[in-house]
Amino acid sequence: MYHVPVLLNECLSALRVRKDGLYFDGTLGGGGHTQAILEQGGIVIGVDRDEDAINECTERLKPYGDRVKIVRDNFKNADNILGEAKLDGAILDLGISSHQIDCCERGMSFRFDGKLDMRMDNRQLLTAEMVVNEYSEDRLIRLLYEYGEESYAKKIVRNIVKARAVAPITTTMQLSEIVKASVPKNIPSPQKRTFQAIRIEVNNELRGLDKAIKDIFAHLNAGARMCVISFHSLEDRIVKQTFNLLSTDCICDKSLPVCVCGHKAEGKTLKKIKPSPSELKENPRSASATLRVIEKLL
Ligand SMILES: C[S@@+](CC[C@H](N)C(=O)[O-])C[C@H]1O[C@@H](n2cnc3c(N)ncnc32)[C@H](O)[C@@H]1O
């Protein structure tokens, strides 16, 4: 199985798929969400920057013919990809697929030994190996604090710098051992935060996410909805703040007596949704998922 889609039924009921309606899936992965939309009669423009995802979906979604258009790109380019198209719904299922985690040679997981790569898009130059071996000590510390919320950032980075002065750090296991040796023994999976931080940096996962959401939202028809699934608090905060901004009238400083911004809400934020107990049981990887939904106002 390439990837088990998370919160699938919840996304489908939020999207209220219309026959022959046009939908945007910015994170195709294994094509699970897209296939479900196609099954309900929708037409999909599906995007992923990962070559494996594109190959998987090209095969898997063949039976749907020209009802699905598959594009290898970054969803941050949605405005270009969509041109003048108006959408009846959109979905972003952020983060990485099970396939990406489980391919040890891609170096996304500290559980498998592999090259320090971590790229979703193998056409880009920056790899995890370059981040770990070439970033300055200060920059690495900041990265672990900001993208990993790692309280032992200084200790970990000091040991990375010591190790790379002897020989370049090239594998996930080497990095994993350095992290383990830098933090107290009783911390469960201490490598998680360091790996997350480096992966976010390599794939530039957070910068521009707010703009991408606004760009895709701008293509929605009135009454259409956008679903965004996030997998950690940093991502979720951006989704929440962007949705709040789109759903708020005045955004003036609270100290001003009257509104001077003239900002008008264009959307309505719906309730946030977490996986059900049965989904958690069937797919433990869904545990950290949060779905947020916004509806374009009429
Ligand atoms: C969690 S998976 C999506 C799984 C998919 N919904 C399914 O049901 O199989 C996330 C996918 O989004 C892709 N991705 C992440 N950020 C991206 C971006 N900025 N642009 C395009 N694709 C991206 C990843 O390569 C990965 O394949």
DSSP 17: P
* Number of Cα atoms under 13 Å in the Cβ half of residue 185: 0
Q: What pTM, to 2 d.p., does this model score?
A: 0.96
Q: Is any ligand 1 atom within 6 A of the Cβ of residue 95? A: yes
Residue 85 has a pLDDT of: 98
Q: Is the pLDDT of residue 254 over 90?
A: no
Q: Is the pLDDT of residue 77 over 90?
A: yes
Confirm if 202 and 170 have CB atoms less than 8 A apart. no
d(CA 86, CA 219): 5
Using the atom order of ligand 1, give the atom closest to the CA of residue 33.
8
Q: Is any ligand 1 atom within 6 A of the Cβ of residue 46? A: no
The β-bridge partners of 171 are: 115
Q: Is the pLDDT of residue 26 over 90?
A: yes
CA of residue 149 to ligand 1 center, whole Å = 23
Q: Considering the chain, tell me which residue range(s) the CATH 3.40.50.150 domain(s) occupy.
A: 8-95+208-296
CA of residue 31 to ligand 1 center, whole Å = 9
Class of domain 100-203: mainly alpha
- Which region, left, alpha or beta, applies to residue 29 given φ > 0 means left and ψ of -120 to 50 means alpha? left
Pocket mutation for ligand 1, best pick of 9, 10, 25, 28 (most atoms within 8 Å of C-beta) = 28
Mind listing the pLDDT tens digit for each residue in 98-146? Answer: 999 999 999 999 999 999 999 999 999 999 999 999 999 999 999 999 9
Tally of helices (H runs) and strands (E runs) in the chain = 13, 7
8-95+208-296 architecture in CATH? 3-Layer(aba) Sandwich (3.40)
- The count of other CB atoms within 10 Å of the CB of residue 214 is 15
Mind listing the pLDDT tens digit for each residue in 230-239? Answer: 999 999 999 9
Q: Is the pLDDT of residue 156 over 90?
A: yes
Q: Considering the chain, tell me which residue range(s) the CATH 1.10.150.170 domain(s) occupy.
A: 100-203
CA of residue 128 to ligand 1 center, whole Å = 19
Mean predicted lDDT score pLDDT of the chain: 97
- The count of other CB atoms within 10 Å of the CB of residue 271 is 8
Cβ neighbourhood burial of 229 (10 Å; 0-12, 13-18, 19+): buried
For every residue of 43-83, DSSP letters joined together read: EEEEEES-HHHHHHHHHHTGGGGGGEEEEES-GGGHHHHHT
Mind listing the pLDDT tens digit for each residue in 186-207? Answer: 999 999 999 999 999 999 999 9
